[in-house]
Amino acid sequence: MTYNWNDILIVGDSFCSDRLSETDWPQALTCKLSNNEYDRTRIPNGAGFDGASWWSTRRCLMKELNKSIPKVIIFCHTEKMRIPSDYDYALNHRSVEIRELIPKQKKVMPEDLAKAAEGFYNHLLSHEFQDWTMRQWFHEIDWIMNKHQIEKVIHLYSFPDWHNKPLYKFKHGVTIMDPLYNYHKLNTDIERFPNHFNNYENVQFATFLFDIIENYPGHGAIYDKKIFE
């Protein structure tokens, strides 16, 4: 089945933030699903927020749904301990430690914000609360996807939970059990890895998702095989 470009929405964290180059998996997948040639002026709908909490993903989702209702939505769900920000700041354990506010821009975190975030992690963080809020977000996603009758939904976990398993198995959509973190690569001064994959892996991952969407097993399905085999 061929979709229109605007039928496809991809939202999440840094595992889907790079989407401009031909080999970036969101670009490669959207071109493949819509049967379009690569056009550097055209970017897949949605966004990936480097280092930011799931709150940024939610805000993006709501804005996109207000514009139009897609037929295919792909989520890259981030880890639960990040601090929400209406400015989509990267506020997580690592960014606070190295005082880096916007990773791709290497923007230094202001001193007062860094101290506030450190205080949160040192004195206020409740693992139980963070777990609960993320579960409520997942419940809300199921409700939203059902409300709008989204045809095909893919749920990817960027990181494993503390017990090395996802927090939640979605009722509306296909849940991929293999966390993306298992394959991640970190950018260096010498080499950059878009979406934490090399170019070949990005294209391979786009093909993996295309096959699931084309042969959609139905809502509530669990994919428990390895992503890269």
Does 166 have pLDDT greater than 80? no
Q: What is the mean pLDDT of residues 164-190?
A: 85
The DSSP code sequence of 77-109 is E--TTPPP-TT----SHHHHHHTEEEGGGTEEP
Give residue-wise pLDDT tens across range 76-91.
Answer: 999 999 999 999 999 9
- Measured in degrees and rounded to the nearest 5, phi and psi for residue 18 equal -85, 120
Q: What is the pLDDT of residue 22?
A: 97
Does 38 have pLDDT greater than 90? yes
Give residue-wise pLDDT tens across range 188-202.
Answer: 767 889 999 999 999
pLDDT tier for residue 7 given thresholds of 50, 70 and 90: very high
- Measured in degrees and rounded to the nearest 5, phi and psi for residue 92 equal -145, 175
Q: What is the pLDDT of residue 169?
A: 83
Picking from 5, 136, 137, 133, the residue whose alpha carbon sits closest to that of residue 62 is 137
Dist. CA 11–CA 76, nearest whole Å: 6
Q: What is the pLDDT of residue 151?
A: 98
* 70 Rama class: left (phi>0) / alpha (psi -120 to 50) / beta: beta
Q: What is the mean pLDDT of residues 183-188?
A: 85
Helix (H) or strand (E) holding 216: none
Q: What is the pLDDT of residue 168?
A: 81
Q: What is the pLDDT of residue 108?
A: 87
- Measured in degrees and rounded to the nearest 5, phi and psi for residue 122 equal -85, -30
Q: 169 - beta bridge partners?
A: none
Q: What is the pLDDT of residue 164?
A: 56
Q: What is the mean pLDDT of the chain?
A: 93
Does 117 have pLDDT greater than 90? yes
| 101-105, 110-114, 135-139: range with lowest mean pLDDT | 101-105
